[in-house]
Amino acid sequence: SILSPLLRTGYHFQPPMNWINDPNGPLYYKGWYHLFYQYNPKGAVWGNIIWAHSVSRDLINWMALDPAIKPSIPTDQYGVWSGSATILPNGTVAMLYTGIDRPGTNYQIQNIAFPKDPSDPLLREWVKPGYNPIAVPEAGINATQFRDPTTAWHAGDGLWRMLVGGLKPGTLRGMAILYRSRDFKHWVRAKHPLHSALTGMWECPDFFPVREPGKTDGLDTSEFGPRYKYVLKNSLDLTRYDYYTVGTYNNRTERYVPDNPTGDVYQRLQYDYGNFYASKTFYDPAKNRRVLLGWANESDSVAHDNAKGWAGIHAIPRKIWLDPSGKQLLQWPVEELDQLRGKAVSVGDKLVKPGQHFEVTGLQSYQSDVEVSFEVSSLDKAEPFDPAYANDAQKLCGMKNADVKGGVGPFGLWVLASDNLAEKTAVFFRVFKDGHGKPLVLMCSDPTKSSLTPGLYKPTFAGFVDTDISSGKISLRSLIDRSVVESFGAGGKTCILSRVYPSMAIGKDAHLYVFNNGVTDIKVSKLTAWEMKKPMMNGA
């Protein structure tokens, strides 16, 4: 049944029970990764939010500690909402977060907290200085749309800066409101936001520098250099997706300018084209990388969430860096995930003819990691691309789902499939050709057949993949974990996380297939699937 414990994820981050949402204040401190998150200790729906706290040595095995930040002072007594960590020059930590200071109205103000004992690597106790709050919704700020301070950065001119997400009063203009400070105590709002656009409220902004195109190392948020590009990410309340642009930051004019201005209007680049929201990055000095964490909500009913007693997981932490093209980011599960890989099976050099599929046997795939390299034999039969869908991959995939026969594709994986194929989640590519004969790749995650249970929310998710498929080659990695399928197309150019709740394809009754529903032959050059072990997960 839908309440089967077999649908509870095995290696994705979650507490033993109850509701979880945004990752908060991730950081690396004295040998430990710290993850705080929005948590309801009393139930499986949003409410009573506190900052729960877990620590890890490897971002995969997690140990739960006592909650770190709870309502306790006048300026946060009705809520402690999302925020971010900053490592100060003396090595200690400052935590900026949003507080709710009066009942009912969601009037939002920004607060700061510090570890009580900086010598404690586990940062178990937090204190809130008497000078809180550090920023209030003065004139020009919409008081109920003013939240989620970023990690602050120090850009070489003696000033700290940070952003707070907002909405221009009386408009649909989302804003990254900019503040500066000399002492990290007194914060002054800049005259204009760092950036804004007509998109609705910007929740959970994130702003950080990235190394030159193709360089996989990360940069500390305060590392400043005119040669570095910056990434600005916002979570759009209206669409529930995380969008980002790559651009230039000028410390003197205090403006961020996206490289591709249309990126602003259409907001086409998403960290993930599926169920992934309120994400946040941090710089990991231990492995010199930038790591992305994000929240994936349930797509089941509230009644089911309540009956299960839990709701929400986090995506597998992803390393992110600038693609060699400089136009987008690449994302890949952190390498520490590989330690969970157990029994493996491989398939090589296998032809999949039009309309055919084959099963990958010899492993339990309900909790697995699958990497596959495909090769299409020809692009001649690619379907013509209708430019009306240039900014609507999701709609295109909704029409041309996994069961709609194509030219080149749809081809890919059926995961969490029942043996009679009545249930299956399809993760696939479909290749089109534009008016100039240029191939265009669409990646989809199609859960419409994922479950026979009625009443589930089963949206088809999709994004374009900006990859050169002229050689015919494209790769896919899917992290399958009982009720989540987290997929990375073309080496992490396009990512899609879906929540699915099979009624039959659970536990050992879940199967894995490769399918081809186009008219062109597909070759699986190589497929490897690993059973995934269960890590330590907060004591559950």
Residues near ligand DQQ (CB under 6 A) are 21-22, 38, 49, 81-82, 98, 147-148, 203-204, 277-278
Q: In terms of C-beta density within 10 A (0-12 exposed, 13-18 middle, 19 or more buried), how is residue 4 classed? A: middle
The residue (of 98 and 520) whose beta carbon lies closer to ligand DQQ is 98
Residue 125 contacts residue 116 (beta carbons within 8 Å): yes
The residue (of 53 and 400) whose beta carbon lies closer to ligand DQQ is 53
User: Would you state the structure tokens that stand for residue 484, as one six-digit string?
Assistant: 């989540």
Least separation, in Å, of the C-beta of 20 and ligand DQQ?
A: 10
What is d(CA 269, CA 259) in angstroms, rounded to the nearest whole number?
12
Buried b / exposed e along 432-459 (16+ C-beta atoms within 10 A)? bbeeeeebbbbbbbbbebbbebeebebb
Residue 4 contacts residue 277 (beta carbons within 8 Å): no
Least separation, in Å, of the C-beta of 220 and ligand DQQ?
A: 24
Least separation, in Å, of the C-beta of 274 and ligand DQQ?
A: 16
Give phi and psi for 399, each to the nearest 5. -75, -50
Strands 522-532 and 341-352: antiparallel
148 annotated active-site: no
Residue in the block written with tokens 């789902």: 401
Least separation, in Å, of the C-beta of 69 and ligand DQQ?
A: 12
The residue (of 134 and 443) whose beta carbon lies closer to ligand DQQ is 134
The residue (of 144 and 364) whose beta carbon lies closer to ligand DQQ is 144
Which residue number has the CB closest to ligand DQQ?
Answer: 81
Stated length of the chain: 540
Which helix (H) or strand (E) segment is 93 a member of? strand 93-100
Catalytic one of 22, 76, 101, 481: 22
Least separation, in Å, of the C-beta of 494 and ligand DQQ?
A: 23
**Beta strands per DSSP E along 418-453:** 425-433, 439-446
Residue 245 contacts residue 356 (beta carbons within 8 Å): no
The residue (of 241 and 385) whose beta carbon lies closer to ligand DQQ is 241
What is d(CA 247, CA 251) in angstroms, rounded to the nearest whole number?
13
The residue (of 98 and 494) whose beta carbon lies closer to ligand DQQ is 98
Least separation, in Å, of the C-beta of 73 and ligand DQQ?
A: 17
Query: Annotated catalytic sites, by residue?
Result: 22
